[in-house]
Structure 1
Amino acid sequence: MKRSLFTKLGSVALLAIVGLHGFDALGFLNLQAELLVLLRIIGTGIVAGFAWQQGKLSAWIFAALFIGAEVGIDAPGVAIHLDIFSKAFIQLIKTVVAPLLFGTLVVGIAGHSNFGQVGRMGLKALIYFEIATTIALFIGLVAINISQAGKGIQAPKNSISSKIELPGSAFSASVDSSKGTYVLNYKGKELSPAAPKIQQDWKKLVLHTFPENISKMVYEGAILQVVVFSLLFGFGVAQLPDRHKKIMLDWTEALTEVIFRIVGYIMYLAPFAVGGAIAYTMATMGVGVVGNLLKLLGTLYGALIAFVLLVFVPVLMICRVPIKRFFQAVYEPAMLAFTTASSEAALPKAMTAMEQLGVPQKIVSFVLPTGYSFNLDGSTLYLALASVFCAQAAGIELSWGTQLVICLTLMLTSKGVAGVPRASLVILAATVEQFQIPEWPIAVILGIDALMDMGRTGINVMGNCVASIVVAKLEGELNTSALEKQAIN
């Protein structure tokens, strides 16, 4: 009874606080700044009370969003140092990703010894990946062409290149003849060389798939290389005599159990990571960060919502997976990905959620990590949208033919950017350079890229969860009884 009363009163109070802020922002009220601060503190206290009442990790993650935003708005001097929580959380997660993938893949392959099924799963997964990412690219193109978010942006004066003549006496060079190197100086100051141009081609993409050093692939977080090595190791274990095979399987199963326990411990830090990330973002970028880029931000999130409604929902309906149950299952991993802007941070939680949803571990452990390189729905949609935005901002009219060529290019170059926050900017820079589009609009996007990265990363994780369900359904191994049981609960 007390809980129900607190929930009702708290909900009314929150609505009142939001309403007062809205009326103040619209100019209908002229509230004191101190009163607004007090109202926000009371609001975050109510949200924290809800989380305490629920006693669940997901509730605390949700509450951390509001608490972090409040700290970022009203205590920016403190908030700018709180990103250490999100950075520490991501680093801890990265330490367990490789052994987790290794253990689950080896057990899944060697434990069943069905090589034909692995091949079938890989083919079905890749076909789905390409269909989903292609649809994402076209939705991004259509959205940005409708909104025209890049139109009307003025190029910065220093973006126009011009020749500058300087007297030769102003330059000097320090030469090291033994090493064959030199340093160019201008008026006694060392000149920094231009950053190397980013080159992305199919050869590098293919070579990046194959590991050259176990330690290096783990250190660099090359997920696809870890998958390839784990597959080879699993095939090797499957060919061992039963006595040796049992030893290796027992060891990898024990390794997996230990890693999942470690993940459980790390997840207790998730609310701190989420709160710290939001607080830092609000403190460094401010509430009015969107400004003139609000249209671009709205275009991206509108396109992402359209993608969910046009792709995820129909696919789940075809697979006969309860839509509400699916979104409940992916809430925590998607929220982790959203707030930390890193898909890796959500991988262990996503794997657990899909297994609880009825997808076999062998399919989850194969499809999810593979999708992190080949099924980046949110990132590919963003890249198509952002590339055309840069052209619009620069006043360049791109024909639909050119935009389609950009899409085909992005289908290759966007692979494997899920592991690192805001790595999509690297691909965007390479794309605009390839199509002779000025790079200065990328600096404009940087102002809200953190907010955009949150959305696209969350969709990346959700997309791979859907992909695991699709493959399980096509393999006839989706555990519908588990879904029915959880729906009843």
Structure 2
Amino acid sequence: MNRLFTAFVVGAMVLGVVVGYLINQSMSAEGAKEVASHLSIITDLFLRLIKMIIAPLVFTTLVAGIAHMGDASEVGRVGVKTIGWFILASIVSLTIGLVMVHIIQPGSGLSMVAPPIDASSGIETAKFTLREFVTHLIPTSIVDAMARNEILQIVVFSVLVGTAVAAIDDKAPAVLNLVEQGASIMLKVTGYVMKTAPLAIFAALAASVATQGLEVLATYAKFVGGFYLSLGILWGLLIAVAVLIIGRRSLKLISALRSPVLLAFSTASSEAAYPRTLEELQKWGVSRKVASFVLPLGYSFNLDGSMMYCTFATLFIAQVYGIDLSIGQQITMLALLMVTSKGMAGVPRASLVVIAATLTFFDLPEAGLLLILAVDHLLDMGRSATNVVGNSVAAAVVAKWENQIEEPPAEPAPARA
């Protein structure tokens, strides 16, 4: 079934590109834009379905996972290991983006005249301050947080509830049973929603190619190619570390992630792949309580692909306008992005808000963000897929450290004649 679904996803991607190209070539710009607008309705509906199930799915699986961990000391131990991995992965991701953009120099040949510093890109940046980030961690109302799909706030509330349930002597069996049943129901609903994914993928790619055409890929080939090369290096490093810590069995995990990775790549949304990623992690052997704890945290604290893009795109814009940043400024940028990227939603184009805030902080032309908008969807596909791989490796590594990887059932011996 998993292979069949992957085949449908790949087929939808190819068909979407072909149909989008035919529309782009056979219709006027206005006509192609109108068709793309109609196609985007399908994608919007799919993403709304995903957003509809994310909040209850994260809450129920995380509360159940923490409640089964035992006492608060176990929760704290797993939490420290998880956050430690996230911080290390963030530093590596940001540094690779910084180093690669210097090596490739994708923006050095354009030599554009810098617009006024205060020229606006239309992206809101005020909310990305340290004070706003810290106060934003705690929800004023869990109902409001769920209504707005604030994953970081939902995670904070779920951790508190799960820890409280675990601390009660009898673990509040009625409440725990209700939460576990809720998780089972939401996973079933997720299965229904996922059946519509190939259709949404087709519509998303067809709409994008119909309006932008294939020429845009050649225009930004160095930028796009350099970024995907950087993502490839990060993937190789993540897989190598997974093999080093877990063993060769981790290669089977990467293979099992084909479906959620393709889903995230095609829809340019890490959230779209969350339910299937959680399912594949548990099938591979990560215990339910570790997977349900690490994965939701990863969607707020461990978006490896998005963080790499922040440094890569920011310095690309600086190169385009011939603006040099000192080593001290670049180190400060890494520290700033370590904070502002946390809690970044795993939804399309969320990284643009962080980049816009970084440009403003370093007095770079914020309007330079418009330079990357043409290919941002293509780049968002790559970084969303990378987010899935990064979070999956994190869950597997933490499970290994906690001895929470379950061995697959032994193959039955062949019958003797």
Q: TM-score, normalised by structure 1?
A: 0.78
Does residue 141 in structure 1 map to residue 98 in structure 2? yes
1:395 correspondence with 2:325: no
Are 1:215 and 2:147 matched, yes or no? no
Separation in 1 of the partners of 2:3 and 2:321? 51
Report matched runs for 1:305-344 at 5 Å: 305-344=232-271
* C-alpha contact (below 8 Å) 2:125/2:354 kept by paired residues: no
- Per the alignment, do residues 68 and 101 of structure 1 end up closer, same or farther by CA in structure 2, a change over 3 Å counting? same
CA RMSD of aligned residues (A): 2.4
Equivalent residues in 2 for 1:262-273, closer than 5 Å:
262-273=189-200
- Counterpart mapping for 1:29-428 below 5 A: 56-76=4-24, 77=32, 78-155=35-112, 159-160=115-116, 198-240=126-168, 242=170, 245-428=172-355
- Asked if residue 460 in structure 1 is aligned to residue 387 in structure 2, the reply is yes
User: SS where residue 81 of structure 1 aligns?
Assistant: helix
Deviations along 1:224-279, one digit per CA (max 9) or x if unpaired, are: 1111111222233334463x812112211111111111001101101001111111
Structure 1 position 80, deviation (Å): 4.3
Unaligned runs of at least 5 residues, structure 1: 1-50, 163-191
- Asked if the contact 1:342/1:419 (under 8 Å) is kept, the reply is yes
Distance 1:290 1:361, change over 3 A: same
SS in 2 for 1:448: helix
**Cα separation, 1, equivalents of 2:153 and 2:324:** 39
CA positional deviation for 1:450: 0.6
Q: Deviations over 1:403-428 (max 9, x none)?
A: 12111111111111133210110110
What secondary structure is seen at the aligned counterpart in 2 of 1:326?
Answer: helix
Q: Give secondary structure in 2 for the equivalent of 1:75.
A: helix
Which of structures 1 and 2 has the larger relative contact order (alpha carbons within 8 angstroms, sep 6+)?
2
Matched to 1:136, the amino acid is S
Correspondence 1:470-485 to 2 at 5 A? 470-479=397-406, 481-482=407-408
Q: Is the 8 A contact 1:124 1:471 kept in 2?
A: yes
One-letter amino acid of the counterpart of residue 302, structure 1: L
Contact kept in structure 2, 1:221 and 1:419, CA below 8 Å: no
Determine the C-alpha separation between the residues in 2 that align with 1:373 and 1:110. Answer: 21
Question: Identity of aligned pairs, percent?
Answer: 39
Residues 126-161 of structure 1 deviation map (CA, whole Å, 9 limit, x = unaligned): 11111111111111111110111111324368x358
Task: Summarize the Cα distance change of 1:311–1:57 in structure 2 as closer, same or farther, 3 Å threshold.
Answer: closer
How far is the alpha carbon of 1:112 from its aligned partner? 4.0
The match for 2:29 is: none
Larger Rg, first or second structure (1 or 2)? 1
SS at structure 1 position matched to 2:38: coil
Deviations 1:59-97 (A, max 9, x none): 101110001111101134444421222211111111111
The alignment covers a number of residue pairs equal to: 402
Asked if structure 2 preserves the Cα contact closer than 8 Å seen for 1:80 and 1:284, the reply is no
Cα pair 1:152 1:393 within 8 Å, conserved: yes
Deviation for aligned residue 1:436: 0.9
Q: Structure 2 stretches of 5 or more lacking a match?
A: 25-31, 413-417
Alpha-carbon distance between aligned partners in 1 of 2:248 and 2:76, rounded to the nearest angstrom: 25
SS of the residue corresponding to residue 365 of structure 2 reads coil
